[in-house]
Structures are given as structure tokens and as C-alpha cells.
Amino acid sequence: MTTKCWNCTLRRLDAFVDMSDEEVRFTERFKTSEIVVEPRTTLLREGATSPQLYTVLNGLGLRYKMLPDGRRQVLSFLFPGDFVGLQAGVMGAMGHSVQASSRMTLCVFDRTRIWSVFQNRPDRAFDITWLAASDDGVLGEALTSVGQRTALESAAWLLVHLRRRAEALDLVDGDAMEVPWRQNDLADAMGLSLVHTNKTLARLRQMGLATWGDGRIVIPDMVALAVIAKVGPDLPEPRPLI
Amino acid sequence: MTTKCWNCTLRRLDAFVDMSDEEVRFTERFKTSEIVVEPRTTLLREGATSPQLYTVLNGLGLRYKMLPDGRRQVLSFLFPGDFVGLQAGVMGAMGHSVQASSRMTLCVFDRTRIWSVFQNRPDRAFDITWLAASDDGVLGEALTSVGQRTALESAAWLLVHLRRRAEALDLVDGDAMEVPWRQNDLADAMGLSLVHTNKTLARLRQMGLATWGDGRIVIPDMVALAVIAKVGPDLPEPRPLI
DNA sequence: CGAGTATTTGATGCAGTTCAACGCTCGTGG
DNA sequence: CCACGAGCGTTGAACTGCATCAAATACTCG
């Protein structure tokens, strides 16, 4: 049973900009189907030319790149509303792989129809570009974190980042949020070893700043954590939803 | 004296996809002027909402982000044909700063007119999105390099990357290419200290793989360097030019 | 109950940082 | 004309943050 865009709860969140009825109807036609994938499913593989693009409706995942010898860099974490497969959609091949971390449900769009969006709906085309530019911003942040921050700062930054994204989507319950990611995913996102990631998280826990465990992140004081992370206010602007 | 797009030598390079006469004329109208900036000029500042977008016509530069305490992460290096300011153009604010490393000349576009591109020229709008997605790919590569590669691999990767980009633009003379960047820029791009960057470059020199000095990079054997860098063939597809 | 996955902790070693100094080439001003 | 300082590259020595190795715990699941 696939959700009608009309009934989609996602677009009512204040994380997203409002859509006109017209836009909702158009998206509905652009959408070809809906899929549910189990944890650890690879949705898109680096180098592949996927016939499909997706919008995350539900669940969490991650994007990563691998070196030939197996080292893995996690590029970003996927949340509902994220649009994946754009590189394959416009450039022909993915620059990274995409994996589900929890069970996810995604809207499926046909890659070949993307061109018709540009022809018929300049506003939606603009939104797609907005999302691409936004991804650029996130990657820049991540690169800066990996390149310049110490392990402690980097971990703090990542937790703040995840928490802020979750907040905008109403995924936070009090101080806590549920996440499907393993410490290994965090380590690969920060460019640190698993062992040192674990010790760094332990340090944050001892400082009373953040607790990671049992699939939950608990952050009692975001301001204190943000100070460690050395991040600006970084108000998350509402994003377009495709 | 500003160049007419019609006479622009850039688009004749095989680094770029061919443009129809129609497209050239449209770009000409989209272009508002041309500027020349001296080395070390900051074109765009992080957080600023620039009224202008640029395409690099000539010269080299870099994009970077800074932490409040002064640490700097270089995100990417700018070559002719690169389109800068897109974040400000579509999202309203830049996520990073942009600086000229050599004297540069740039085509200037009016930010407010970007919307009319989406309305009137879906093909050009698509090209803009292509470029945004392409930047995403480069940032992903860079992040993987900083996060996963050792200093030696990372330096090798960066040199290979710069050389490949330069080749596509006919900026390579035999084994050598001229670059305006300092070792400090390299260090900030790789997330390494200046001292260690220097020693790593010395190591590559002793191995006979690459020489960096006096504003020139000399790479006698790209294949050998690429092996160290652990990069795939990575043929640079022709890109659209705005 | 054994196997596999995830987290945790301790011990040891090294890649990369930090500190310090020196040489070179400029441009500038006395 | 030389003295001086600033910017950049280079090199050595000491230190340390993080990686690597190793092993124990706890857990879920067939």
C-alpha cells in the first residue's frame, strides 16, 4: 500500500517548506512507486548508473565511499526527506554508495523523468538544485570536521549535527533519540578507528555531555556540547521536499 | 574589455561539452560583466549572501571553511570553468569562502537572474544541477582522502587529482604544471600540519614520483603515483560550462 | 550451547603534531 | 648600497593523539 503524496506526513513537518496543491499533485505523478528495504540493504552502489532516484520517507541510512583495500568513509547520514541518487540522475553514475541502516521506506522516481521535471516544472527543478547545493554544504562541514577537529571535537560535532537534523523531523524524545547506527559507522564517518571512537564517546559520557548506547543518543545539554564542537548556531533552514 | 562568450576559448577545450549557438547566445545575455581579481582576494565569504555568481575564466583559486579559532580546511581547488557561488545563488548563503590564489578573471552573473534560467532554459538549469552534483562528487573524494588515506596516499591523491584537472584544461606542459598554491594550502586541504606536509612531499620527491617546488608540480609517472594514491582510472567526463 | 556481532578496556607503537631553528628570496627604507 | 623583516620552504628533535594488537564481556540468534 503506497502512500499518496497528498497524505504524506513528511511535508507537514516544519523541517520542510510548504508545497502548493499543484506541487503535491505533480510530485504524485513523478513518483512511480514505493519500496521498503531491510537494514543493511545497499540501495545504490558507487559507480552504478541507477535507473531510479529516491526520497527517504521513513527510516535512516548512510552514504559511503570505499577504497579498493576496503577502508570505508561514511560521507553522510540519511534522514527522512533526503533525496538520493541525484548523481546517477544527472551525471549518469553514483559517486558513492547508499545503504539502509534501519528498515526504510522510500519513494521511487524514474531517473528518465527527471528531465521532464526540468522542462515542465522550473520550481521543482530549482528545488532539486537547492538540495544538491545543500548536500554540498553538509559535505563541506563534514570535511572540515574530519580534517581540522580533534577526535573529541569531531564526535561532539557529529552528535550535535545528528541531533539537530533529528529535531527538525520530530525524531527526538526529550533528551534522547533512537538511532540504528553502530559505533563503527561513527568511526568511519569521523575517519577514526573504532577503538578510539569508543574511547572518545566514553570521554563525552564521563563529561556528562552525551551518552551513546543501546541505539540511543542522549544529550542533556546541547549548548555545552555545541561549545566543544565549535559550531555556530547553524539554524537548519526549511528544505524543499521532492 | 570583456570577452564575448562567442570568442571564449574555454568552451573549445575538450574538458567541456559542446554548446549550441543558441546556448552561447543565452549565456552571453545571462552574463553581466567580467572582473579581474588579484591573488589573495576573497571573492565570496562564508555566510555571506552574494548578489553574484561567477564562472572562472582564467587563473586558479580555492574554496575553504574556517573554524572560529582559525583552523582552516581547504575544500577544493578552483580551475577555469568552475562555477562558484551556487550556494548563495540558490540557498541564500555561502557555506564556504572562495579565494583567488593567482590573478583570476571571472565572468559575473546576476544572482537574481538564476531563476529566469530555470524558467526559460531547462537545459542550462540542468547543467547547473550537473555542476552541483559534480562538486558533491569531488567533495566526497576529498573527504574520503582526508578520512581514510595516510599522509603519503593523500598527497599522492591530491597531486593526481590536480594534474588530471589541469590536463583536461591543457594546463600541463610535458611533465610539469604551474600552480600558485603554497604548501600551506595543500596542508589545509589534506588536514595535515605544514611540517608534515613538507616532509611527505619530500618523500614523494625522493621516491621519484613527484616534485613540488618553485610553483611547479612535476610528475614523471602518473601511473605510479596513481597506484600510491589508490585511485581508479577516474576519467574526467566533459562538464557543462555556464 | 556455540557462533556471530557489538561494545569495552588495556598495552604498545607509530604517524603525525608541535616547537625550534635556519636558509632563501624578496621588497622596503635608511 | 646594505640592513632589515616578511613570507615560504626545509630540517631536526621531542612529544602525543590516535592506531593497532589483544582480549574480555555481553548480547542475540539458530
> Nearest Cα to A143, choosing from B91, B74, B160?
B74
Instruction: Check: CB of residue B46 under 8 Å from CB of residue B73.
Output: no
Give the 3-state secondary structure of residue B193: coil
pLDDT at A54: 97
What distance in Å separates the CA atoms of residue B233 and residue A195, rounded to the nearest whole number? 33
Q: Which residues of B touch A154 (CB under 8 A)?
A: none
Measured between beta carbons, which residues in chain B are less than 8 angstroms from residue A230?
67-69
Q: B79 and chain A: CB distance < 8 Å anywhere? A: no
Sign of torsion over alpha carbons A98, B138, B218, B198: negative
Angle at alpha carbon of residue A91, lines to A25 and A56, rounded to 5°: 45
- Chain B residues whose CB is inside 8 A of the A137 CB are 87, 91, 95-96
Mean per-residue pLDDT of chain B: 95
Does nucleic acid strand C have an atom less than 7 angstroms from the CB of A202? yes
Query: What per-residue confidence (pLDDT) applies to A1?
Result: 60
How large a percentage of chain B has pLDDT more than 90? Answer: 93
Helices then strands (H, E): number in chain A?
8, 12
- What count of residues does chain B have? 242
For residue B144, count other CB atoms closer than 10 A to its CB: 26
What digits encode the pLDDT tens for the residues B188-233?
Answer: 999 999 999 999 999 999 999 999 999 999 999 999 999 999 997 7
Residues near A17 by Cβ (< 8 Å), separated by ≥ 6? A238, A239, A240, A241
3-state secondary structure of B206: helix
The predicted structure's pLDDT at residue A236: 78
User: Would you state the pLDDT for residue B235?
Assistant: 73
Does residue A152 approach strand D to less than 7 Å at its CB? yes
Picking from A140, A186, A161, A168, the residue whose alpha carbon sits closest to that of residue A80 is: A168
What is each CA distance from B210 to B85, B163, B225, in whole angstroms?
33, 11, 8
User: Residues 173-232, chain B: which have Cβ under 7 A from strand D?
Assistant: 182-184, 194-195, 198-199, 201-202, 212-213
Cα B239–chain centre separation: 13
Whole-structure pTM value: 0.96
The DSSP code for B191 is: T
Q: For the CA atoms of chain A, what is the radius of gyration?
A: 18
Please, what is the angle between helix B151-168 and helix B222-229, to 10°?
A: 130
Write out residues 159-188 of A within 8 Å (CB-CB) of B: 188
State how far the Cα of A62 lies from the Cα of A99, in Å rounded to an integer.
Answer: 5
Single-letter code of the amino acid located at B15 = A
The cell numbers describing A133, all together, are 547545493
- The per-residue DSSP string of B21-46 comes to HHHHHHHHHHEEEEEEE-TT-EEE-T
Query: Which of B122, B136, B147 has the CB atom closest to A119's CB atom?
Result: B122
For B147-194, how does the pLDDT look when each residue is reduced to its tens digit (9 = 90+)?
999 999 999 999 999 999 999 999 999 999 999 999 999 999 999 999
Pure H helices in A106-242: 114-120, 122-148, 151-168, 183-190, 194-206, 222-229
What residue type is assigned to position B177 of the chain?
Answer: M
Phi-psi region of A4 (alpha: psi -120 to 50; beta: other; left: phi over 0): beta
Q: Quick one: DSSP state of residue A16?
A: B
Query: Which grid cell is B87?
Result: 550556494
Region B60-79: mean pLDDT is 97
Question: Looking at beta carbons, which residues of chain A come within 8 Å of B75?
Answer: 140, 143-144
How many C-beta atoms surround the C-beta of residue A83 within 10 A?
Answer: 23
**Cβ separation of B141 and A95 shorter than 8 Å?**
yes
pLDDT of B90 higher than 80: yes
Any residues with CB less than 8 A from the CB of A223 and at least 6 apart, and which?
none
The pLDDT of B63-92, averaged and rounded, is 97
Q: Indicate whether B1 pLDDT > 70.
A: no
B108-132 pLDDT, tens digit each: 999 999 999 999 999 999 999 999 9
Q: Which of residues 55-74 of B touch A (CB under 8 A)?
A: 65, 67-69, 71-73
Query: For residue B181, what are the CA distances in angstroms to A107, A143, B156, B212?
Result: 45, 20, 16, 10
Whole-angstrom Cα distance, residue A212 to residue A219?
Answer: 9
CA distance A114 to A128: 10
Cβ of A184 near strand D (under 7 Å)? The reply is no
Picking from B66, B97, B136, B161 by the largest number of A CB atoms within 10 A of its own CB, the best residue to mutate is B136
The per-residue pLDDT string of chain A (242 residues; one tens digit each, 9 = 90 and over) reads 677 888 899 999 989 999 999 999 999 999 999 999 999 999 999 999 999 999 999 999 999 999 999 999 999 999 999 999 999 999 999 999 999 999 999 999 999 999 999 999 999 999 999 999 999 999 999 999 999 999 999 999 999 999 999 999 999 999 999 999 999 999 999 999 999 999 999 999 999 999 999 999 999 999 999 999 999 877 778 999 99
CA dist list (Å): A223 to A3, A47, A175, A230: 38, 40, 13, 10
Give the pLDDT of residue A5. 87
Q: How far apart are CA A45 and CA A85, in angstroms?
A: 10
User: Three-state secondary structure along B74-115?
Assistant: EEEEECCCCEECHHHHHHCCCCCEEEECCCEEEEEEEHHHHH
**Is B132 part of the contact surface with chain A (CB cutoff 8 Å)?**
yes
Question: What is the distance, to the nearest Å, from the Cα of residue A50 to the centroid of all Cα atoms in its chain?
Answer: 19
Q: Phi, psi (5° rounding) for residue A221?
A: -140, 95
Note the CA–C1' distance, A85 to C2, in angstroms: 42
Task: Please answer whether residues A39 and A100 qualify as being in contact, where contact means their C-beta atoms are separated by less than 8 angstroms.
Answer: yes
